[in-house]
Structure 1
Amino acid sequence: MAEPRLTDTVLDVAENDASLSEDAKLLVLAALDGDAALAGAVGGESPPASPPIERDDRQTEAEEPEPIGAYLVGIEVAGFRGIGPAVTLPLAPGPGLTVVAGRNGSGKSSFAEALEIALTGDSYRWAEKKGAIWSGSWRNMHYDSPCHIRIRLAEEASGETVVGLDWDRDAELGDRKSWVQRAGQKREPSLAALGWGSAIELYRPILSYDELGGLLTAEPSRLHDALEGILGLEQLNEAEKRLTATQKRLQQPDVECKTAKAALKPALEGLDDERAKAALLQLRKTKPDLDEMLRLATGTAPQQDDLLVALRALVHVTTPGEVAVERAAHDLRAAVADMAAHSTRSLEFAEQRAALLDHVLKLHATHGDMPCLVCGEGALDDEWRQRVVTEQTQESEALIAVRDAQRNLTQCRQSARELTKPVLLENTHREVELTSLGRVTAVQRRWVEAPQDDLGLAEHLLNVYPELAEAVSALSAEASASLTQREDKWAPVAQQLAEWVRLKRRALANEEVGRKVQEAVRWVRANNVVLRNQRLEPLADEARAIWAALRQESNVDLGTISLTGQRTRRRVELNATVDDEPAQALTVMSQGELHALALALFLPRATRPASPLRFVVLDDPIQAMDPAKVDGFVRVLNEIARDRQVVVFSHDDRLADAVRQIGGSARVIEVTREAGSVVKVMESSSPARRYVDDALALARDTNVPLDVTAKVLPGLCRLAVEAAARDVYYNKRYSDGADRNTTEANWVEAKGALQKLALAFRDDCTAKVDSWRDAKPARRRTLSTCGGGVHIGISSDPRLVTEDLAETVEDILGGSR
C-alpha cells in the first residue's frame, strides 16, 4: 500500500486541530511546498487570504513515477583487500536470494567491502575502527599491479552500467579514480552520473557485521536520523526551517526596532533640545505618532524650537553696508552745505514777494498804468512791468534752487536716519545666551539714538557704524557656531530617530502576518513528533513482522517503535515486553537478539519502494544467531527476495544449509582462496541445479517405489528446465535494462517449458525452439518428459532421464545452441 503524501498527512492533522487558524494552515502547507510558495503566502506585508483548503485524496505517492531500479550483475576485484589477481563474483540481476559462502579469510568479504567503497566512497569498518590500520592495509600484498574494482549494474531502461575504481601502482586509498560508464556512452568521472542522489546513504543497501553490531550501540541520534531520513520528513523539517527563517525575517525589524530604541532613548535624553524632548515624549507612548517623529527628524515639524528660530535669525542679522553708510554721511553733509549756500535770503519772504508781484502784474495787465499802490509815488507802467518781469525770472530760478537744496537735504536726512534703525528685532532673541549679544544690544542702542542735527547725524554714522558692524559680525559668527554645535549634536540623533521610525513602520507592517507565522511554527514543532511517528508506523509494522519471524523462541516481543526528542536528544524509542511485562528492548535483549532487532530495523529501511537500489547486501549477518533464528532469517530473506535482489555473504555453514533445507530459488556461490591471494568463485547451487540434484536423488533412491518415481520425476524435470530458462531470461532481460514489471508479466504469461525456453532464447514466448531441441537427443527426450511425461509418467530408466536432464539444464544455463 502506497504511503500518503506528507502534505495530506499534515493536512489531516491540521484539519483535526480546531485551535489552528486557517491562515496558519495555509502557511504550513505553503512551507511544505517550498520557498517560493511560502514567500507568496506571506507576501511580506500582510497575512495571506484564507481560501478553503482543498485536497485530492486520490493523489498519493503511488502516482509518482517509480525510481529506475538497479540490480547487481557482478563484482570484479583486483589487488583489493584479500583478493589478488582479478576475479569476478557473478550475480543474477533481478529479484532473488544469493548466498556467497566461504570460510573466514576466503576473500568473500573483500567483495562486500569493494562494493561498499565503490558505491558509498567509504567502509563502515574503516570508519568506525582503527582507521589508519584498516585503511592502510587495503592493498593486497600479493598483487603489485594497479588495483581496480568494477561493479556491474543492470539499470532498468539503461542496460548494463559499470562503476569503476582505479588505483595506480603506488597510490594511496584516497587517490583512487572513480567513474561511471553506461552502455554505449563515455565514462563520467562521478557516481553522481547514476542519478541516485542521496539514495545510497538514505536507504543504505549494504550492511556489514560491524555495522549490524553498531546500529543499536552507536549514539542514539544515528539510528534516529537513519529512520527519519527515509520517512520523507525532510520536507517537514525543511518546512519548519522555512517557517522559522520567515518568522525571524518578519521579526527582524521589531528586534532591530527595539535595539534602535534602546540606543535612541538615552541619546534623546542627553540632548538639551526641544526636538529631542518632543521625540522622547512620542517614544514613550504605546502608539507614538510616527509622522510627527519623522517631521522632527527631518526638520519639517510645524512648531519650530524658539531657540533654533532665534539662532537662525541671529546668524542672518545684517547691518547697513559700509559703503551705504559712508555715502549717506557724505550726502548729508553735502546737502547741509548746499542748503547753507542758498540760505542768504528767506525762502518764505522770497515766495511771498514773488506772489505779491505776480498779483500786481496781473492788476497792471488788467487796468493799465497806475501809481504804486503802496507808496503812491512810483508808477506802475510798462517800464516797471519789464523790470519786474526780469527780476521775477531771476528770483524764480534762485527759488527753485533753494527748494531743490531743501528737498535734497530732507531726503539725505531721511536716508541717514533710516540707517539707524535697530538691526535686532524685538523679542527674537530672549532665549539666546550669547556673549556677543550684550555688546550688539549696547551698540545698537547708541546707533538708534542718533543726534537730531544733520551734521551730528552724519558724524554719528561714521563714528558708530564700524563698532556696530564689528559687533553684529561677531554675534552672527557666535550664533552660527552655536547653531552648528546644536545641529551637529542633533543630526546623528535625528538620523537615529528617522531609522527607528522606518523600523517601527516595518515592524508594524509585519506584525499581523508575523503572528500567523509564529502560530504555524509553534504548531509544526508541537506536531512534529506526531507526524514523524505517523509516517514511521508502516515501517515499524514491517520491523515488527521481521522481528516476529526472527525471534524464534525468544520471550521478547517488540512493541512500539517511535522517534522522540529533538536536536541533540533525538533517539529511537524501542519498547518491548518480556513475558508480557513492559521493558526497554535494548536492555533486555541478548547479543543475538540485538542483531536480529538491528536487521528488523535495517531491512525495511533498505527496501523502501522509493529506493532505486533494488538490491540488499548483508555481510556475515548471522554470527550471533542461534539456529532457530537462522531459519527465521532465511524465511525473511526469501520473502524480501520476491521483489529485491538479496546477496548475503557468510562464513557460517548454517546459512547455506538453511537455504538448502528450506528451499526456494536461492543460489549458493562458494568462494575459496588459494596461495598468493588467488580467489576462486564457483556456483555450488542454483535453483535449476538443485532440482536436478533432487531428481538424481529420487532416481537413485531404491526405497521409493518405481511407479512413484515415474510419476514424480517428470515434475522435477519440468521445474529444473523452467528454473534454468528463468535464470537465462531474467539475467538477459535485466542486463538489457528491461522493465521489471514487464519482465515478470511476460514470464507469467508463458505457459509450459517450450514457451519459457522461447522467452529465454528468443525473448518471445511464441517463437519456435525446435532447432535447439532437436540439436541433441538428450534435449528432445527431456522436453518430452517435461511435456506429456508430467501427465502419464515415464516408462524409461529414471537414471537415464536424470542424465538427460542434467545435460539439458547445463546447456540452457551455458547458452549452448
Structure 2
Amino acid sequence: MPENPADTRLISLVRSLLNRESPPQDERVRGLVLAALEDEQRLRAALEGSHTPVTAEETEDDTRQHTTPAGTFLRGIEVGGFRGIGSRTRLPLHPAPGLTIVAGRNGSGKSSFTEALELALTGNSYRWSTARPALWKENWRNVHQDVSPTVRVDLAEESAGDTRIEVAWPDSGKPEEHRSTVRRPEENPELPPEWHRALELNRPILSYEELGNLFEAGPSKLHDALAKLVGLEQLSEGTQRLDTLAKELSAAEKQAKKLRGELRDDLDHSEDERAPELRKLLGKHKPDLEAIGGFVTDSAASGGVAARLRELAEPVLPEQADIDSSVNQLRTALGEAAELVGDSVAGAEQRSALLHRALELHREHGDQPCPVCGQATLDAEWSSRARQRLDEDEQWITVARQAQEAVRRGAEQLRSRIARVPALPDTAGVELENLERARRARERWATPPERDGELAEHVAATHPELVAAFTELREEAAARLAQYRDAWSPIAEKLTNWLEVMREVRSKAQDLKDVRGAHEWLRDNTKRLRNEHLRPLADHARRIWSRLRQQSNVDLGAIELTGNGPQRKVALHADVDGAESQALGVMSQGELHALALALFLPRATMDQSPFRFVVLDDPVQAMDPAKVDGFVQVLAELAQDRQVVVFSHDDRLADSARRSNVRARILEVQRGRNSEVTVVNSDSPAHSYVSEARAVAKSELDPSVREAVLPGLCRMAVEAAAWEIYSAKRFHNGQDRDKAERLWTEHKRTRARIGLALCGDPDIDLDFWLEGYPRRRHTLGICADGTHEGLKCSAEEAVKSLQTTIDDLLREPR
C-alpha cells in the first residue's frame, strides 16, 4: 500500500466508488485499478496474479494510516559560501506554531536561506530545475568568500528529537554533486520515508517565482501543476500506467493487424491458387489459426497444383531389389513346374480316385474280374500293385500341387507390385515434358499378360523403362515444385510471423481486456474522483481567497480539474459583480498571485503532512495593500497550529502585522561588504535602517563613501518610522488603504511625510516638533541636504542623532 495517508484516502475513495457501481466491475479489473494507483511494479504483479490489492471499502491499514503523523518544525537554517551568503550565517527559528517574518531588502541574502532549505529537503532547487537553469547553476557559489559551500538545516521532530540535514560540495563540484548527511537521534540515518512523498504532495516551501509561474505555463501544465499541488497526480499516474501497460499488451495486436494487412496485399497480387482461400480465412473475425497454418507447409493445398506436383515428385515405385526377387521367384517356380511332365495333375488325381474305388471294391467283394476291362482279375497281386501305383501318384500330385502354388504365389506377388504403382494423377494446370513418357511407361507396366508364364518377362522388360521415366518425371516435378514454393515463400514466411504474433495476441487477450477495462474505468471516473478529492481543499482555498480578495470584484467559485490528455485544464469559476466567468480571464496579476497562494496553502497545511511548517518567499510582491492586510490575517490563522515563516523584501508585510496587532516575530537579514550577512531581531523597519547606518559608520569604507551613503539611510529610516505612525493612525481610523497610500506617495519630501505622520497634514510647519530637540533638527537637515551635498558632520554624530529621532517618532501616539 502507499506510504502517504493522502494516497490511502484517495485509494479509499476509489474503492468506495468501485463498490458502489451497479453492475459491479469484475474483481480482477477492480484490483488492477487499485494496483495502478500504487506503482508500476504492483500493477504488473496484480496482472500476473502475485499481488492482490484489497478491494473492500475500508481496511485496518487505511484506518491506521489516516492518523496524523508526528510533526516536524524548523529550528534554524545555517548557510555559508552559498549564493548571496559568504561567511556562515544562521537564521534562528522558534520550533513551534507562530508567525515569523524574515525581512530584508533585495540582495540582502534572505532568499539564499529559502533556497538552501529547499535544497536540503528536496535535493534540488526550483531555480535550478526551470527552463533557465544555466545562470543560476553558474553563480551558485558565493563570489566573495573562498569557502566550501555548506548548508545546515536543523529540525525538531515530535517524539524523535532534533534532526540535522547537512549539505556539502567538493571544492570544484557542480551544483548537482552535493552530498547530504542526516543526523538523527535514532540509529537510522535516513529521513522518515513519509517525508519524500509529503515533499511532493504537501510541499511546505513556495517561492515567488514558483508561485508566479503557476498560471503562465498553459492549460495542460497548469492542470498538472494543480493536480500535483493537491496530490491528484496519483490519478493521472495510475491512468498513465494502465495506458502504458495496455499499449504494451496491444503491441502484438497492432503488429498482427499490420502483418495481416500486408498479407492481404500480397495475396491480392499473387497468382497462386491458394491465395483466394487464404485471404478468405484471414478475413474472418476470429481466424482459424490451425487451418491457416496449413498454408505455411503446403498441407492446405490438398487438391491444387502444389499437391499434384508434390505427388508427381514423390512417385510410388517398387524397389528394384523387390522386383528382382519376385521375378526370380516366379521364374524358379515356373521352371520347377515345367519339369513335371506327363499326366496333368487333374488326370493323376482322377486315376488315383479310380484306384481308390477299385481297391475299396476288392476289399469289400473279394477277387473278381476288372469291371473296366473285364479281362484282368482284381486279386491280391493286383491289389498290391495298385496300392504301390497309388502311393506314387499321390506323391507326384503333392509335388505338382506345390509347384503350381509356387507359380501362383510368384505371379500374385508380381501382379501386386504392378498394381501398387498407381495411375498418374490429374495434371490439369501442370505441364511437364516427361509426363507423357511416364504415363505410357506406367500404362505398359500396368498391362501384364494373363498367362503367368509370361508375367516375369513382362515385369523384367517394363520395369527399367518405368523407373527411368518416373525418375525423370520426379526430378522435373521436384524442380517445378521448388519454383512453386519459392514463389509462395515470402507469403509463407510472413504468414509464419503473423501466426506467432497471433498466438501471442490470443494468450494476452484476457489480460489486455482487463487492463483496458481498468484504464477506461479510471479515465472515465477521474473527473468525479479528482473533484471529490479536491472539494475539501477547494473549500479551504475559497475561504482563504475571501480573506485575500479585499476590495476585489472577483469572487471565487468552484474549482475543477477537467478534461483528459491534451484537453486537460483547470476550471476556476468566478463571479464578477454577479456575472459568471472564468477566474483566469478576469483576474489581475496580483489577484492571480493571491489565488495561487489560496490554492497552495491548504495543501501545504493538511493534517497528513509531517511538516508543521510553511515557508513562503516574497509572497506579497505582487499584492496590492488591501490584499496584504488580508494575507496577514490568513497567516495569523495558519500560525495558530503551524510554524509560518515568510521571507519578504516588502516592508508592508511586517508593517501590516504590527498595525493589526498580529503577534509575529520579525527578523531582519542585513548584508554588509563581501556578502557578510547577519540576522537581527527587528522591531521596525526604521530600526533596521538605523542598524545599517551604524554598521556603515563603523565600517572601513572610504570616508567619502560613508558620507555619500549615510544620508540616504537616514532618510529611509525617518520615512519608515513616519510611515509606521501614519499608516497605523490611518488604518486604525478605518481609512481606505489605497487612499492613504496614494496620499503618501504623492508627497516625496521627508518633512511632508513627517507632517502626515504627526498631524495628517503634509504642509504643516514642524517647528512645534523640532523646537527644543536639536538632534531632530540635525537629522532632518541630513535628510534634506545630505543626499545632495553629502554629510557635514561625523558619521558617529549622524547615527546618534538618527537613533534619537527614530525613537522619538516611534513614541508618537498611534
What does residue 628 of structure 1 align with?
A: 626
What does residue 419 of structure 1 align with?
A: 414
Q: 2:680 aligns with which of 661, 679, 682?
A: 682
Helix, strand or coil for the counterpart of 2:466? helix
Q: Tell whether the 8 Å contact from 2:18 to 2:25 is kept in structure 1 after alignment.
A: no
Which deviates more, 436-445 or 450-459? Answer: 450-459
**Structure 1 CA distance for aligned equivalents of residues 673 and 65 of structure 2:** 55
How far is the alpha carbon of 1:531 from its aligned partner? 3.4
How far is the alpha carbon of 1:549 from its aligned partner? 1.9
What does residue 659 of structure 1 align with?
A: 657
What does residue 94 of structure 2 align with?
A: 92
Q: Tell whether the 8 Å contact from 1:325 to 1:416 is kept in structure 2 after alignment.
A: no
Q: 1:6 aligns with which of 10, 15, 18?
A: 10
**Structure 2 CA distance for aligned equivalents of residues 624 and 310 of structure 1:** 90
What does residue 468 of structure 2 align with?
A: 470
Q: Tell whether the 8 Å contact from 1:80 to 1:138 is kept in structure 2 after alignment.
A: yes
**Structure 1 CA distance for aligned equivalents of residues 385 and 238 of structure 2:** 119
Which deviates more, 367-376 or 492-501? Answer: 367-376
**Structure 2 CA distance for aligned equivalents of residues 349 and 593 of structure 1:** 138
Q: Tell whether the 8 Å contact from 1:332 to 1:409 is kept in structure 2 after alignment.
A: no
Q: Tell whether the 8 Å contact from 1:364 to 1:380 is kept in structure 2 after alignment.
A: no
Distance 1:79 1:401, change over 3 A: same
What does residue 182 of structure 2 align with?
A: 180
**Structure 2 CA distance for aligned equivalents of residues 212 and 289 of structure 1:** 61
Amino acid at match of 2:33: A
Which deviates more, 361-370 or 656-665? Answer: 361-370
Deviation digits for residues 466-520 of structure 1, max 9, x if unmatched? 2233334455666667778778859768857966885786688689x66xx7666
How far is the alpha carbon of 1:92 from its aligned partner? 0.3
How far is the alpha carbon of 1:590 from its aligned partner? 4.0
TM-score scaled to structure 1, two decimals?
Answer: 0.66
Helix, strand or coil for the counterpart of 1:670? strand
Amino acid at match of 2:105: R
How many residue pairs align between the two structures?
A: 666
**Structure 1 CA distance for aligned equivalents of residues 193 and 681 of structure 2:** 30
What 5-or-longer segments of structure 1 have no aligned partner? 687-817
Helix, strand or coil for the counterpart of 1:429? coil
Q: 1:117 aligns with which of 116, 119, 122?
A: 119
Deviation digits for residues 57-79 of structure 1, max 9, x if unmatched? 99987971223322110111122
Amino acid at match of 2:94: A
Which deviates more, 351-360 or 316-325? Answer: 351-360
Amino acid at match of 2:82: F
What does residue 76 of structure 1 align with?
A: 78
What does residue 141 of structure 1 align with?
A: 143
Helix, strand or coil for the counterpart of 1:227? helix
**Structure 1 CA distance for aligned equivalents of residues 361 and 569 of structure 2:** 140
Amino acid at match of 1:620: D
**Structure 1 CA distance for aligned equivalents of residues 347 and 219 of structure 2:** 130
What does residue 210 of structure 2 align with?
A: 211
Distance 1:445 1:295, change over 3 A: closer
Relative contact order higher in (CA < 8 Å, ≥ 6 apart): 1
Question: RMSD over aligned Cα, in angstroms?
Answer: 5.3
Distance 1:23 1:297, change over 3 A: farther
Helix, strand or coil for the counterpart of 2:655? helix
Distance 1:468 1:414, change over 3 A: farther
**Structure 2 CA distance for aligned equivalents of residues 239 and 355 of structure 1:** 107
Q: Tell whether the 8 Å contact from 2:289 to 2:499 is kept in structure 1 after alignment.
A: no
1:383-532 matches, within 5 Å, as 389=385, 404=399, 408=403, 411-412=406-407, 415-416=410-411, 418-420=413-415, 422-423=418-419, 429-430=425-426, 436-450=434-448, 457-474=455-472, 502=503, 521-522=519-520, 524-532=522-530
Helix, strand or coil for the counterpart of 1:23? coil
Distance 1:409 1:493, change over 3 A: farther
How far is the alpha carbon of 1:322 from its aligned partner? 3.9
Helix, strand or coil for the counterpart of 1:656? helix
Distance 1:297 1:227, change over 3 A: same
How far is the alpha carbon of 1:264 from its aligned partner? 5.4
**Structure 2 CA distance for aligned equivalents of residues 334 and 624 of structure 1:** 125
Which deviates more, 67-76 or 599-608? Answer: 599-608
Deviation digits for residues 223-282 of structure 1, max 9, x if unmatched? 432321244433433443455457657767765664564455567778888987666655
Distance 1:647 1:276, change over 3 A: same
Q: Tell whether the 8 Å contact from 1:268 to 1:277 is kept in structure 2 after alignment.
A: yes
Distance 1:539 1:298, change over 3 A: same
**Structure 1 CA distance for aligned equivalents of residues 119 and 160 of structure 2:** 23
Identity of aligned residues (%): 42
Helix, strand or coil for the counterpart of 1:71? strand
Q: Tell whether the 8 Å contact from 1:361 to 1:385 is kept in structure 2 after alignment.
A: no
Amino acid at match of 2:169: W
**Structure 2 CA distance for aligned equivalents of residues 122 and 349 of structure 1:** 124
**Structure 2 CA distance for aligned equivalents of residues 593 and 359 of structure 1:** 144
Distance 1:579 1:341, change over 3 A: closer
What does residue 646 of structure 1 align with?
A: 644
Q: Tell whether the 8 Å contact from 2:366 to 2:379 is kept in structure 1 after alignment.
A: no
How far is the alpha carbon of 1:141 from its aligned partner? 3.1
Amino acid at match of 2:531: N
Deviation digits for residues 656-686 of structure 1, max 9, x if unmatched? 2322232243111233233343322233459
Q: Tell whether the 8 Å contact from 1:32 to 1:238 is kept in structure 2 after alignment.
A: no
Amino acid at match of 2:144: H
Deviation digits for residues 678-700 of structure 1, max 9, x if unmatched? 322233459xxxxxxxxxxxxxx
Q: 1:593 aligns with which of 591, 594, 605?
A: 591
**Structure 1 CA distance for aligned equivalents of residues 105 and 351 of structure 2:** 161
1:218-617 matches, within 5 Å, as 218-241=217-240, 244=243, 258-259=257-258, 261-262=260-261, 305=303, 318-319=316-317, 321-323=319-321, 325-326=323-324, 343=341, 389=385, 404=399, 408=403, 411-412=406-407, 415-416=410-411, 418-420=413-415, 422-423=418-419, 429-430=425-426, 436-450=434-448, 457-474=455-472, 502=503, 521-522=519-520, 524-617=522-615
Q: Tell whether the 8 Å contact from 1:669 to 1:682 is kept in structure 2 after alignment.
A: yes
Amino acid at match of 1:546: I
Q: Tell whether the 8 Å contact from 2:74 to 2:94 is kept in structure 1 after alignment.
A: yes
Which deviates more, 132-141 or 32-41? Answer: 32-41
Q: Tell whether the 8 Å contact from 1:671 to 1:682 is kept in structure 2 after alignment.
A: yes
Distance 1:224 1:416, change over 3 A: closer
TM-score scaled to structure 2, two decimals?
Answer: 0.66
Distance 1:464 1:8, change over 3 A: closer
Q: Tell whether the 8 Å contact from 2:229 to 2:600 is kept in structure 1 after alignment.
A: no
Distance 1:62 1:232, change over 3 A: farther
Deviation digits for residues 5-53 of structure 1, max 9, x if unmatched? 4356557777898xx6433799457613547998899999xxx9xxxx9
Amino acid at match of 1:6: L
Distance 1:636 1:481, change over 3 A: same
Q: Tell whether the 8 Å contact from 2:230 to 2:603 is kept in structure 1 after alignment.
A: no
Amino acid at match of 1:226: A
Distance 1:175 1:262, change over 3 A: closer
How far is the alpha carbon of 1:351 from its aligned partner? 8.8
Helix, strand or coil for the counterpart of 2:150? strand
Q: 1:150 aligns with which of 149, 152, 156?
A: 152
How far is the alpha carbon of 1:598 from its aligned partner? 2.9
How far is the alpha carbon of 1:644 from its aligned partner? 0.9
**Structure 2 CA distance for aligned equivalents of residues 124 and 345 of structure 1:** 127
